Amino acid sequence: MQDTVTTSALLDPSHSSVSTQDKSSTGGHTSSTGPQPSKPSITPVSAKSRNPHPGANFHRMRRIIAEDPEWSLAIVPLLTELCIQHIIRNFQKNPILKQMLPEHQQKVLNHLPPDLPLAVTANLIDNENYWLRCCMQRWPVCHVAHHGGSWKRMFFERHLENLLKHFIPGTTDPAVILDLLPLCRNYVRRVHVDQFLPPVQLPAQLRPGDQSDSGSEGEMEEPTVDHYQLGNLVAGLSHLEELDLVYDVKDCGMNFEWNLFLFTYRDCHSLAAAIKACHTLKIFKLTRSKVDDDKARIIIRSLLDHPVLEELDLSHNLIGDRGARGAAKLLSHSRLRVLNLANNQVRAPGAQSLAHALAHNTNLISLNLRLNCIEDEGGQALAHALQTNKCLTTLHLGGNELSEPTATLLSQVLAINTTLTSINLSCNHIGLDGGKQLLEGMSDNKTLLEFDLRLSDVAQESEYLIGQALYTNREAARQRALNRSHFMSTITANGPENSVG
């Protein structure tokens, strides 16, 4: 410890003594070392490569040649180099970073091992390069774009995700996560967890039991299969914006039990309280978690009048009409922009209540009701709502048992509405006449860019003509966008995945 102190004390005077002859080369030094971080820094080599611009400072060069300082320096490494080496070696015990000059900091960061304890590095190092190395070391595939382009954020988010995934209530120490909290609270913005493990004792006891019995027994012991309670974690993360949860167990293999996939009422209540307390949350996703009407209503009630929530995704659950009614209430009591209720059990009454909320809504941009069963009654109600709505741009009604009456109303909507850009009516029973009516409506529309009518019994001819109309609309939109963003920097396309959704 004393050793390091002395070196750090030595650092400044040595630097100042060296700087007189060193300054000429420092400018080029950082630039030369920047792009090659992996290069082992042996001082003679770096000293040799120190003068990348011989012509830039000719007089000084000549003087140096005349005095010939390079010769001696080539043999003995610089004191700064030695100090940096030492700092790197002892970083875990005595992290010194902020006190150094920028170029030295850079050097230190380039040579720090990526497996340093997070307690040391988390709040000290902001350098993306270091975190990039950390990520690359831990995970073979890294999509930094999913984490806002920040490697540090990605590291912490994935680290937290990993911990949560493998947290087993009762056995794992909760301190593992709570200790991490002060380190990652400033960097984590998105929590994406696709598995929550149940307590381990129950499966162990139940293992000898019959498969057929397990269902009934699981119901009995439901209160004991609670998962990890997110409340503390969510309250601790001050910049949390997205919460993407799946109450699921992966890779259970032959240990399959129905119990494993339960989303208990206690889980639901604690989750609701957590998201209610989190005022920075913008996106909330709870998918494939067997959320039924009651649980959905509990969660939605906690989201009412949330200040910033923009996206709610409850797809692949068991939500029925009551849950849909709750979502409709949420539409008029929040600033929700995206609502996804795909693959639920919403029927006509639920769709009607949603349509009622949609008629006067000015926030919602996207509504997804894929794979529900709203039928013509719900479809007509939605179409009526769209006649007054001036905000919705994307509507997905695929696989909803819709037929001609809905198409008739929708064609009227198409002629009036100028905000809708994408409609999906695939997997319905629109029929030939419905297709013709939709084509009629489409002829008056200039804004719609996507209209999916696959497998909905529409005549090929009308589908083709609609495709033509869409094509002209798309070209016009492209022209508009080009004109509008001509001066803007060219934006790289995100790939085809947007159009898939």
Q: Which residues bind other proteins (CB under 8 A)?
A: 308, 370-371, 373, 398-399, 401, 426-427, 449-450, 452, 454-455, 474, 477-479, 481-488, 490-496, 498-500
Q: Which is nearer to other proteins, 162 or 499 (CB)?
A: 499
Q: Shortest approach of other proteins to residue 233 CB, angstroms?
A: 24
204: exposed, middle or buried (Cβ count in 10 Å: 0-12, 13-18, 19+): exposed
| DSSP secondary structure letters along 51-66 | -S-TTTTHHHHHHHHH
Q: Which is nearer to other proteins, 175 or 493 (CB)?
A: 493
Q: Shortest approach of other proteins to residue 306 CB, angstroms?
A: 13
Q: Quick one: CA dihedral 324, 306, 311, 364, positive or negative?
A: positive
Which residue shows structure tokens 């949860």? 245
Q: Shortest approach of other proteins to residue 498 CB, angstroms?
A: 5
Q: Which is nearer to other proteins, 290 or 478 (CB)?
A: 478
DSSP assignment letter at 91: T
Residue type, 220: M
Q: Which is nearer to other proteins, 72 or 492 (CB)?
A: 492
Q: Shortest approach of other proteins to residue 486 CB, angstroms?
A: 6
Q: Shortest approach of other proteins to residue 201 CB, angstroms?
A: 29
Q: Which is nearer to other proteins, 97 or 338 (CB)?
A: 338
Q: Quick one: CA dihedral 456, 459, 461, 465, positive or negative?
A: negative
Region of 288 on the Ramachandran plot (φ > 0 left; ψ -120 to 50 alpha; else beta): left
What strand order describes the sheet that includes 338-340? 190-193, 242-245, 283-286, 311-313, 338-340, 366-368, 394-396, 422-424, 450-452
Nearest-angstrom CA–CA distance, 334 and 361: 10
Q: Shortest approach of other proteins to residue 455 CB, angstroms?
A: 5
- Closest by CA position to 177, among listed 219, 121, 234, 124: 234
Q: Shortest approach of other proteins to residue 421 CB, angstroms?
A: 8
Q: Which is nearer to other proteins, 44 or 501 (CB)?
A: 501
Q: Which is nearer to other proteins, 190 or 384 (CB)?
A: 190
Q: Measured in Å, how far apart are the chain's first and last C-alpha atoms?
A: 58
311: exposed, middle or buried (Cβ count in 10 Å: 0-12, 13-18, 19+): middle
